[in-house]
Amino acid sequence: MHELSLAQGLVEQVQQAAAAEGALRVVSISLELGQYSGVEREAFEFAFPLAAEGTCLAGAELVIREIPVSVLCNTCHRESNPVIPLLICTHCESTDVKLIGGREFLVKSVELEIEEE
């Protein structure tokens, strides 16, 4: 399960951002997760609290937006979201397509608790 090492990586990244802002703790983390990122959402959600334990991310909520696979058609030049695993253009059914989305695994933003001056 590589999701635990990914969760540890996320914790380190967010710790840096929290420290830079002088945050007390992390309230929530917004992520984008592509269907073809190679990351299993449920496994990641399971691993995250283990990685966050004992850090300022403990108890933080994960807000995950799933990004569907998208392809660009070389025949009709339109984008579409095929039903995976079949990579075809949903407009013209061409198989001459390029994978342009769905590999993402991004941390978009973090909500931090900051002490008042």
Q: How far is the CB of 6 from another protein (least distance, A)?
A: 6
How many residues bind another protein, per CB under 8 A?
A: 53
List, in sequence order, every residue forming a beta bridge with 62; answer none if it has no partner. Answer: 29
- Number of C-alpha atoms within 13 angstroms, CB side, residue 69? 17
Q: How far is the CB of 25 from another protein (least distance, A)?
A: 5
How would you classify residue 36: left for phi > 0, otherwise alpha for psi between -120 and 50, otherwise beta?
alpha
Surface-to-core class of residue 15, CB atoms within 10 Å of its CB (0-12 exposed, 13-18 middle, 19+ buried): middle
Is 51 a binder of another protein (CB under 8 A)? no
Q: Which residues in 5-24 contact another protein (CB under 8 A)?
A: 5-6, 9-10, 12-15, 17-19, 21-24
Is 66 a binder of another protein (CB under 8 A)? no
The Cα 117–Cα 100 span in angstroms is: 45
Is 2 a binder of another protein (CB under 8 A)? yes
- Contact yes or no for 33/39 (Cβ under 8 A): yes
Q: Using CB under 8 A, pick the residue from 45, 46, 56, 77 that binds another protein.
A: 56
Residues that bind another protein (CB under 8 A): 1-2, 5-6, 9-10, 12-15, 17-19, 21-25, 27, 31, 36-40, 53-56, 58-59, 84-88, 95-97, 99, 103, 105-116
